[in-house]
A and B are shown apart, each in its own frame.
Chain A
Amino acid sequence: MSGDTQPDEAAWLAQIALGDPQALRALYDAYRPRLRRYLWRLLAGDAAAVEDCLQETFITVWRAAATFRGEGRVAAWLFRIASRNAAHARRHSASHPTEQLPDDGASDPRFEDLTPEAAILDRLSLGDALGQLSLKHRVTLELVFVYGFTVEEAAQILGIPAGTVKSRLSYARRALAQALVGEES
């Protein structure tokens, strides 16, 4: 999925903006597998919620295709819409998100040197570390490594600064480096 928006994708969006459902179907067929896998992670395997999010994502595309300015890849735009729909679904889900952030009482994170996750990553091997990653860290890694988005695109999709994407990646890499050192010694 690396590279710029494919010409046919831009054409599909143009056709969708003109009200062509056939173009929407083409886009749906092309992106459903990737979006489904991505939403599967975000929604903790809730199949019904995944399908609802997919539905909402393409309804949004249908309504907003004319606003796509071609400044980024169609893929990043689609994933951003899907991310927002998933966030909406998670907020309204009875079972709260799989991500359980620690409750550290009155402590202020501004004065902590490392997040708990970073601390865990610092002392675990790679397999353990990846298993311990929070949802937001896993999703960040997957957007970059599995789906092939750039740091800037991942930042747009997740609605976070590019610096945050970099820091999440760097935590994992640093932990891995330490794990490799441990293996050598």
Chain B
Amino acid sequence: MNNEELASAAWRQLREATLAGAPQPPPDAAADTTWQLIFDRIAPGDALDNGAYLMTAPISQPTNPDPTPNPSRRAPAARWLAASLAALVVVALVAVLTQFHSAPPAVGQHGGTVVVPTPRPFGGNGKCPAEYSNPGITHSIALGEISMVSPTEGWAVGGLDHFGTGVSQGILLHFINGQWVTDTDLANAQDITSLSMDSPTDGWLTVDVPNAQYGSLAHYDGQHWQPVPLPVVAPTQPPGTTYMGSNSFSNLTVRMYSATDGWIMPFQSQTNGQATLLHYDGTAWRIVKTPYISTDLKFYQFYDFAVTGPNELWIAGNYTDDSGTASSGQTVRIIHYLNGQWSASTNLPGGPNGTIDQIAMASSTNGWAYGEIGQGYPSVLLHYDGKSWQKAALPYTAADSLGGLAGLTTGPDGSLWAIETEGINGSIANTVSKKLVHLVNGQWQSQTLPNPSTDPLLPFQAGEVVPLANGDIWVMGDILHQRNCGPLEVTGIAQGVILQEHNGQWTQTIEPVG
């Protein structure tokens, strides 16, 4: 057998073996059940699902939805709504009369005839106890970021989603005069994704515009938030560039070091070796490309970044080797930008495989990173001392696959703060934030967070902690309600919460406010 025949035979046999070895799941018995869940979620009758809404105060429908309908979300919903309006009214009346849980959750058209879907039991899709089911929620309010400019003033952002209408609305909150109030400067914004205030009179935020080519920005001048256009980015990208699985330069995060220096990073992946960032130099946002680490290692995905000075940036992310001649796996790197020059960490403690998804830098010579690295992907906390990254002790056992840290940040004195989370029901898909942890002189201190959830079965997940110089601590997160109890559903319905510790006393604000 010559080489050509050998290759041909090998190829044929490989194909046959792959075909024969493909996994065969058991007989499909869930097709209709899953379709029913899909159908329930695409139908505008979602809001009729169950009983009372859990918000502590009513939420009004947005009065100023984006005037440009989103073709992929609003148009179908709107057209569906029109087509099904009469039927929906009938079903709504039935739902009210039968106290919801025995009523059909939605209605739609199949095969040209109106079909009322089979009612779901009160316990959602049956994968969790009835008491887990979240009754009748029509909105999700998720808070994304908080930025305090003083003990008495701060800002917070997030997004509100109306399930029934598909309308999204940005949440912009201003803490002033001792309370959180809604700021209406950006009433038409959808999904405000991040916020960074560098002073009481200067700050930036980023806005997601679903299915648009770019996200957008807004700047605060001490009086008002004003929209600011993004520089054109995508046309400069090489073919194959994707941002969050599309060509949209969106889902942005902003971090300001000062009024004249800051960075914006999109959630992006696999951009042919280089990623695109935006750097503000005091006059304009300009494109900065991340480096090729080598001819083999190319950018794959970035997860978090921190700024430590003018023209200084740290990014945690993954690179991939796609040369075809060496490892094709991913390798985790922390890269550093200083005055136009890039450098990259060598392999981090634990090995090349894994993910670092949080980085918090107090200065150029003192910083922290957290993720999962090495065989079995155990949790890893790394400390940077100005020379190298080294493993540091976790506040929990690294092998505890249900433990985790969130909201990694540094305080005014450079010490590390975080939220310690733990899984519930044997899964980190459902995590609950129970402790505020603080690393002081190498020792972890912790205190139990108040649980803003009135239902012990609805977890509170904190995403941010902001320690202030006066000793006050702000924590922001969401109470997560479960709609159908599936793991992927859990994160979909949020109720934003802001906690404040002042003189040892915790107070809480639960959305809605203002």
Contacts and interface: CB of A to CB of B under 8 A. Distances in A.
Contacts of B503: none
A45 B326 contact: no
Nearest to A46: B487
Nearest to B76: A19
Contacts of A114: 326
A4 interface: no
A107 B347 contact: yes
B38 A59 contact: yes
B294 to A, nearest CB: 6
Interface string B85-110: 00000000000000000000000111
B182 interface: no
Contact of B127 (A36, A48, A67, A142): A48
B259 interface: no
A141 B327 CA distance: 17
A93 B429 contact: yes
Interface string A19-38: 11110110011001100110
Given A103-B351, A167-B324, A66 B72 contact: yes
A11 interface: no
B111 A18 contact: no
A79 B272 CA distance: 21
Interface in A164-185: 164, 166-168, 170, 172-174, 176-177, 179-181, 184
Contact of B19 (A33, A107, A146): A146
B308 to A, nearest CB: 26
B322 A59 contact: no
A38 to B, nearest CB: 9
B162 interface: no
A112 B110 CA distance: 57
B152 interface: no
Contacts of A103: 350-351, 353, 374-375
Given A67-B72, A101-B353, A108-B352, A180 B13 contact: yes
A55 interface: yes
B23 A177 contact: no
Most chain B CB within 10 A, of A96, A111, A179, is at A96
A88 B488 CA distance: 9
B488 A37 contact: no
B458 interface: no
Contact of B327 (A56, A67, A112): A112
B18 A28 contact: no
A165 B42 CA distance: 35
Most chain B CB within 10 A, of A25, A33, A166, is at A25
A8 B43 CA distance: 23
A89 B15 contact: no
Contacts of B231: none
A164 B328 CA distance: 7
Nearest to B11: A173
A35 B52 CA distance: 36
A145 B19 contact: yes
A21 B42 contact: yes
A50 B30 CA distance: 10
Contacts of B41: 55, 59
A102 B240 CA distance: 30
A106 B389 CA distance: 12
Contacts of A124: none
A112 B351 CA distance: 14
B406 to A, nearest CB: 13
Contact of B488 (A16, A53, A94): A53
Interface stretch (B55-63, B143-151, B420-428): B420-428
Contact of B1 (A29, A130, A146, A180): A180
Given A55-B486, A89-B487, A109 B23 contact: no
A36 B28 contact: yes
Contacts of B23: 37, 40-41, 45
A123 interface: no
Contact of B328 (A29, A130, A168): A168
Given A115-B328, A141-B14, A130 B21 contact: yes
Nearest to A178: B10
Interface string A85-109: 1001100111110001111111111
A167 B18 contact: no
Contact of A113 (B28, B326, B353, B401): B326
Given A37-B24, A67-B211, A142-B18, A92 B487 contact: yes
Given A112-B327, A113-B326, A21 B43 contact: yes
Contacts of B246: 67
Contacts of B31: 29, 32
Nearest to A147: B22
Contact of A146 (B22, B33, B37): B22
Contacts of B7: 173, 177
A84 to B, nearest CB: 6
Interface string B59-78: 00000000000011101111
A64 B80 contact: no
Given A164-B320, A166-B324, A176-B13, 14 more contacts: A19-B78, A37-B24, A40-B23, A92-B487, A101-B353, A101-B375, A103-B353, A107-B347, A109-B329, A111-B326, A126-B13, A160-B320, A167-B323, A177-B7
4 A-B pairs with the lowest CB-CB distances in the bound complex, closest first: A19-B76, A167-B324, A109-B327, A103-B375
11 contacts: A22-B110, A28-B38, A48-B487, A49-B487, A52-B488, A65-B76, A106-B351, A109-B329, A159-B245, A167-B325, A184-B1
